[in-house]
């Protein structure tokens, strides 16, 4: 009985979501991004401007910015940055898109360091 009720609730939720329209957002490429770096042990944080194709360091790791995009006509809006984080010449600890308004959606999973995108740079 409990399994049937749970399945009915799940099914109703999925059907409700199926009717929701997803609208693509027009984006423009940024020249770089402002990234916030945090050392959870020392509590030290810093905002660093990184150009597209450039990199910075946090501890022993290299943080490389491959792309930054923002809503067209709203550079102060949300930022979407493609970042690769890992040791120089080693396997990546993180590789993917980070979203400024939802940093926990796709985050670096590291016990000491945190990195998230703040905004794209347009010049």
| Residues of the chain under the 50 pLDDT cut | 1-18
pLDDT tens digit string along 84-112?
999 998 999 999 999 998 888 888 989 99
pLDDT for 78: 87
Does the pTM surpass 0.85? The reply is no
96 torsion bin: left (phi>0), alpha (psi -120 to 50), beta (else) = left
Contacts of 84 (CB under 8 A, 6+ apart): 63, 64, 66, 92, 94, 95
- Count CB-CB contacts under 10 A for residue 80: 20
For residues 61 and 68, the answer to whether their CB atoms sit within 8 Å is no
Among 88, 80, 85, which Cα is nearest to 117's? 80
* Domain spans in the chain, listed from the N-terminal domain onward: 25-121
pLDDT for 49: 97
pLDDT for 12: 44
């Amino acid at each position: 009985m409990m399994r049937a009720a749970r399945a009915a609730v799940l099914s109703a939720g999925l059907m409700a979501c199926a009717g929701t329209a997803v609208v693509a957002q027009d984006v423009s490429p940024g020249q770089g991004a402002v990234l916030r770096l945090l050392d959870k042990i020392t509590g030290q944080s810093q905002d660093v401007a990184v150009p597209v194709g450039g990199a910075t360091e946090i501890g022993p790791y290299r943080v490389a910015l491959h792309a930054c995009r923002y809503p067209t006509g709203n550079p102060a809006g949300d930022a979407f940055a493609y970042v690769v984080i890992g040791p120089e010449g080693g396997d990546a600890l993180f590789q993917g898109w980070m979203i400024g308004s939802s940093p926990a959606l796709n985050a670096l999973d590291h016990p000491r360091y945190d990195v998230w995108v703040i905004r794209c740079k347009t010049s």
